[in-house]
A and B are shown apart, each in its own frame.
Chain A
Amino acid sequence: ADIISTVEFNYSGELLATGDKGGRVVIFQREQESKNRPHSRGEYNVYSTFQSHEPEFDYLKSLEIEEKINKIRWLPQQNAAHSLLSTNDKTIKLWKISQRDKRAEGYNLKDEDGRLRDPFRVTSLRVPVLLPMDLMVEASPRRIFANAHTYHINSISVNSDHETYLSADDLRVNLWHLEITDRSFNIVDIKPANMEELTEVITAAECHPHQCNVFVYSSSKGTIRLCDMRAAALCDRQSKFFEEPEDPSSRSFFSEIISSISDVKFSHSGRYMMTRDYLSVKVWDLNMENRPVETYQVHEYLRSKLCSLYENDCIFDKFECCWNGSDSAIMTGSYNNFFRMFDRNTRRDITLEASRENSKPRAILKARKVSTGGKRKKDEISVDSLDFNKKILHTAWHPKENVIAVAATNNLYIFQDKIN
């Protein structure tokens, strides 16, 4: 199994898609709750697996293009089939996943094995009948949106108009129409005329959940820009600029690196947005630009280890974050297969571990704690014992229920609320 690189629930929560480093997409489907076992909630089982992207070679630059799936975003369901967008560094593909569980039998002009029948042999007409068959799920690429990004694509986001979507790379944001593959509009371009003057890159972008003219993009300098597409064709001048003033007492050479935003997500309500930087998660009110309304420390105990984390490159890890369906809680990952959840109302937080060794299936997860002081209590783990290879970068929350999906390197964990 390959390293999972993205996790995403669809709009209903019935399907869960994962993309991995090998370019594969695996879709899980929730079992319908059966009447036989009313207390067992639907489990997620593999529904479809397909190879979305293959490794490519860019001959012009003499560089490999990785097949790793950077992001998957589901499209709203319009018919019986499901559609999603999956992207690697350079190319976005629209996949249609459809299932068949019936087939027609009794054609007049064809035999059962498909061979054409001799017309003279046909002596009577019959109506074909639909017979059940084994469920067959097939995924087919319906659109390929290629050649629009010079730099690595880091985000895709489907617009609320369900017709367009945006894709962002390190320096540009493009707007696409889902039906048109041979061109896109460039709506943000922060590439300097002289590349030597480059000091800031785009790290994430997202469309507003309700206003189809609004989107945001975050930068490596810890700023978020909100743009209105009605203002101009090229949204280089932002409508709103979100930045928290730096705390001069905690300034260090690593300040900029740890302020770099790795993920930005609008709340479902569309009133707030959440950003993840290296050590914290911040919730912003879209009406207030000068500072976030809430700040949650994810792993503040790492602040004194920044030099080592810079040395081993962990400081560049890009953690994602997500909201629950009601926007009352947020979740993000950390190291040692830990992930953190914060309740915005009660201000309580919890650290949990996604690991097979430390929890049995169906057992309630035990809260974990990292000891920061000198004395380590029982069951606590010290900072130096944390495994920095085991990082949880990708998490997803079911849009309606308390079901979460956590990707721990090459394992996917799905946790559900305890049923009373």
Chain B
Amino acid sequence: MRKRGSRPIIMPVHRRRKGREKSNMYSKGTKRKFFDGVDNKAVAASYSLQRQSLLDMSLLKLQLCHMLAEPNLCRSVLIANTVRQIQEEMTHDGSWQVVTEALGGSGHGPSDSLVDTEVLCQSPEQQDGGPKLYSVMGYDGCREEEVVTDKALCSVVVGDRAPALLLGTIGHCWDRGELRVEDGVSKDSGTGDEEETRSGEGAKMATGQVFGMFEIKNGAPGSDPALEELFSDVDASYYDLDTMLTGMQSAPKMGPYDFLDSLASSHGPVSNSSCRADLNELDHIMEIIVGS
């Protein structure tokens, strides 16, 4: 039995910056549609920075909450909605496209910020050059790198679009073999045309897989994709607690053995002959074995 002690809660101390009240501006979240002038650019850049930081924080939270014994669904939904919101806004003002373009060429800058979360997921030997510090987003001087998060799950090409990387990152962390991350991650560099729509989908997949986890967690624990393929024709709904409960609620008297009994009894007059034939055959075999 694990007792969870209370976590010390730390209020991060904000360094007082003269002039601009950063946290205020950030919490207000005024949407910027249009940049003009140098000043606005600086403001916009810091807003983007903070927005990215919030995105990273949210993704990290989503990953961590999966590691808990019983994730809090309400919290996960709220964080996922926040992530979705950020990604939508980033798509709207084009930063998402900038990110994906940059990555498409030689993405390194934005992947830096995403490396934070990625690094947490990888085992030490897989880390490429150690954890990188969070850096200001710079979209120049990027390079492609292939990141293998888990050979059983997927291989993510960083040269690919950012959401795919997100997926790879998230998927690796909380997949206990149940989620099919391969579906959402594209292995080829892909078509630039579909980038925007795919990024939306990617975000959806990323957040969706949070709740996919809640659904399919009932499945056989510790399975890996190889086994999944093997048993792909097995009806997974049996393991769905939901179905079982619905069944329980509507027909409380039926237990698992009752079900079998009812099956057996329903077959009564029809298969009697076949059963008898089987039994006779069995007797015959037994006789041979026993040698009587």
Contacts and interface: CB of A to CB of B under 8 A. Distances in A.
A12 interface: no
Interface stretch (A120-128, A310-318, A352-360): A310-318
Interface stretch (A99-107, A182-190, A229-237): A182-190
8 contacts: A150-B241, A152-B73, A196-B209, A220-B77, A256-B78, A305-B11, A312-B10, A388-B9
A384 B11 CA distance: 8
Interface stretch (B79-87, B91-99, B107-115, B124-132): B79-87
B218 A147 contact: no
Given A196-B208, A253-B29, A314-B9, A150 B245 contact: yes
Contacts of A256: 78, 81-82, 85
B137 to A, nearest CB: 18
Interface stretch (A34-42, A54-62, A340-348): A54-62
Interface of A: 3, 55, 60-66, 89, 147-148, 150-152, 170-171, 182-184, 186, 194-201, 203, 220, 250-257, 260, 303-308, 310-314, 316, 384, 386, 388-389, 409
A60 B10 contact: no
Contacts of B35: none
Contacts of A303: 27
B54 A307 contact: yes
Nearest to A171: B73
Given A195-B215, A311-B57, A253 B9 contact: no
A252 B47 CA distance: 12
B70 A55 contact: no
Nearest to A66: B70
A254 B82 contact: yes
A415 B14 CA distance: 37
A388 B9 CA distance: 7
Contacts of A260: 74, 78
A63 B28 contact: no
A152 B72 contact: yes
A147 B217 CA distance: 17
B248 A147 contact: yes
Contact of A388 (B11, B82, B86): B11
A31 to B, nearest CB: 33
Given A60-B241, A195-B214, A252 B69 contact: no
B54 A312 contact: no
Of A195, A198, A254, most buried by chain B (CB within 10 Å of CB) is A198
Contacts of B28: 250-252
Nearest to B242: A150
Of B26, B27, B80, most buried by chain A (CB within 10 Å of CB) is B27
Contacts of A250: 28
Nearest to A410: B6
Tell me if B's interface is mostly helix, strand, loop or mixed.
helix
Contacts of B204: 196
A252 B6 contact: no
A256 B79 CA distance: 10
A17 to B, nearest CB: 23
Contacts of B252: 182-183
A389 B8 contact: yes
B265 interface: no
B291 interface: no
A306 B23 CA distance: 9
B166 interface: no
A151 B242 CA distance: 10
B9 A389 contact: yes
A61 B218 contact: yes
Interface in B211-250: 211-212, 214-215, 217-218, 221, 239, 241-242, 245, 248-249
Contact of B11 (A170, A199, A254, A308): A308
Of B8, B57, B70, most buried by chain A (CB within 10 Å of CB) is B70
A82 B245 CA distance: 32
A107 to B, nearest CB: 43
A3 B245 contact: no
Interface string B1-29: 11000101111111000000001101111
Contacts of B170: none
A89 B23 contact: no
Q: Rank and list the top 9 A-B pairs by shortest CB-CB distance, nearest first.
A: A196-B208, A252-B29, A195-B211, A170-B73, A195-B215, A64-B69, A198-B211, A306-B27, A257-B78
Given A60-B241, A196-B205, A308 B14 contact: yes
